[in-house]
């Protein structure tokens, strides 16, 4: 029997979001219905609302979520009703060339639930990042559910579903930060702060946080930054070089997504260092570089997609570390809010006062 729940939709470009009744079908083959416990408010939700991702309105927003599996469809064996799970963007196929080469984050055949959730009048909803978890329940592909330790705080666990995983993974998976490395993180919002946390976890000796906002630099220190640079007043490339014996950092993580910060990352690395690009640029942005510098600098330039994570490997591991007190995922939760407060949370996010507002059901 299809069921009706409350969820937050973005009805049209730049229109305020609102709570509506959502119709959720029973899970079909390979699908699961999850009762959501918490869902973080991410920039990507705001981008959906602004029409910056695509025009498939109305969207059912929310995608950084944890909850309990309520029911599963035919053929689902990895999770069962009652399991506590963190949701991820897409289920991977496990069969394609990327999956077989151990890089499922580049899977050619990822998928979400096949059936659609709708409004009461039958209008089909597009779930944000294939999830749609600003809702009491949501329908996903069962492969989007990763079972984790049910003792963990759901608000902390849910954040692994997106930004925090992207940042930690940029450091530990893509950047392969090693013991004793020097790491610079340019842009210390939620993603950059998570990269700082990942660098500390990996044993980096120096972690240089760069931002244009002093409030962000203070938070980055709490996450593990050993040095901070305000790039509004100080040239970050020179500052990073000065803090690394004139060499540049072993790993530079860019978490803004702008030409000037891509360029800073390029020049702030050690000649044999790695640049990890996790900030997402817009399609029209361009970067011009002297080819001699591209040729003359060794090392590598990598982009990081969802922190190059393997949810089944990384979510339980990070939750274990959190439960042991070795990382604090709760540090990203600035406030908990209700389903009706999402529009206001977007405003606060825009003003830069919060790392994460988390909707709690
Ligand atoms: N130099 C340094 N820092 C900057 C600059 C700049 N020119 N411009 C903005 N920043 C800082 C902001 O002050 C803020 O602290 O970058 C940070 C961006 O943080 P958020 O807006 O909170 O964004 P976040 O969620 O962390 O995502 C960052 O990563 O995954 C991507 O799509 C995401 O592109 C986005 C980026
Ligand atoms: Zn695949
Ligand atoms: Zn997100």
Render pLDDT for 239-248 as a digit per residue (tens, 0 to 9). Answer: 999 999 999 9
Closest ligand to Cα 233? 1
pLDDT value of residue 182:
98
- The ranges of the chain with pLDDT < 70 are none
Q: Give yes or no for residue 190 CB within 6 A of ligand 1.
A: yes
Closest ligand to Cα 223? 1
Phi, psi (rounded to 5 degrees) for 68:
-115, 130
- Per the rule left: phi > 0, alpha: psi between -120 and 50, beta: everything else, 182 is beta
d(CA 348, CA 330): 19
Q: Give yes or no for residue 276 CB within 6 A of ligand 1.
A: no
d(CA 181, CA 248): 11
Closest C-alpha to ligand 1, atom 16:
187
pTM, two decimal places: 0.95
pLDDT value of residue 164:
95
Closest C-alpha to ligand 1, atom 11:
187
CA of 43 to the centre of ligand 3 (A): 6
């Amino acid at each position: 029997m299809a069921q009706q729940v409350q969820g937050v939709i973005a009805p049209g470009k730049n229109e305020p979001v609102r709570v509506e009744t959502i119709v959720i079908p029973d899970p079909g083959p390979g699908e699961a219905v999850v009762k959501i416990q918490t869902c973080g408010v991410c920039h990507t939700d705001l981008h959906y609302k602004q029409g910056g991702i695509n025009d498939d309105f109305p969207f059912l927003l929310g995608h950084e979520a944890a909850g309990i599996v309520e029911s599963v469809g035919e053929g689902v064996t990895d999770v069962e009703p009652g399991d506590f799970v963190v949701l991820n963007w897409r289920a991977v196929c496990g069969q394609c060339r990327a999956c077989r080469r151990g890089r499922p984050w580049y899977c050619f055949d990822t998928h979400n639930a096949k059936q659609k959730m709708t409004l009461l009048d039958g209008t089909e909803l597009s779930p944000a990042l294939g999830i749609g978890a600003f809702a009491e329940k949501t329908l996903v592909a069962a492969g989007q559910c990763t079972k984790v330790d049910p003792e963990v705080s759901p608000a902390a666990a849910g954040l692994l579903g997106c930004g925090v995983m992207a940042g930690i993974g940029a450091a530990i998976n893509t950047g392969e930060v090693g013991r004793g490395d020097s790491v610079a993180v340019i842009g210390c919002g939620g993603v950059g702060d998570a990269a700082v946390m990942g660098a500390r976890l990996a044993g980096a000796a120096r972690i240089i946080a760069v931002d244009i906002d002093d409030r962000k630099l203070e938070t980055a220190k709490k996450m593990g930054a050993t040095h901070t640079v305000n790039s509004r007043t100080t040239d970050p490339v020179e500052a990073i070089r000065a803090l690394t014996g004139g060499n540049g950092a072993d790993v530079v993580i860019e978490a803004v997504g702008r030409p000037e910060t891509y360029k800073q990352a390029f020049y702030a690395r050690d000649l044999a260092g790695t640049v990890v690009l996790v900030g997402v640029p817009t399609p029209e942005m361009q970067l011009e570089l002297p080819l001699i510098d591209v040729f003359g600098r060794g090392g590598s330039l990598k982009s990081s997609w969802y922190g190059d994570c393997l949810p089944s490997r990384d979510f339980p591991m990070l939750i274990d570390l959190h439960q042991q007190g070795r990382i604090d995922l709760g540090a990203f939760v600035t406030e908990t809010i209700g389903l009706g407060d999402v529009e206001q949370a977007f405003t606060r996010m825009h003003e830069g006062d919060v790392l994460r507002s988390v909707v709690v059901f």
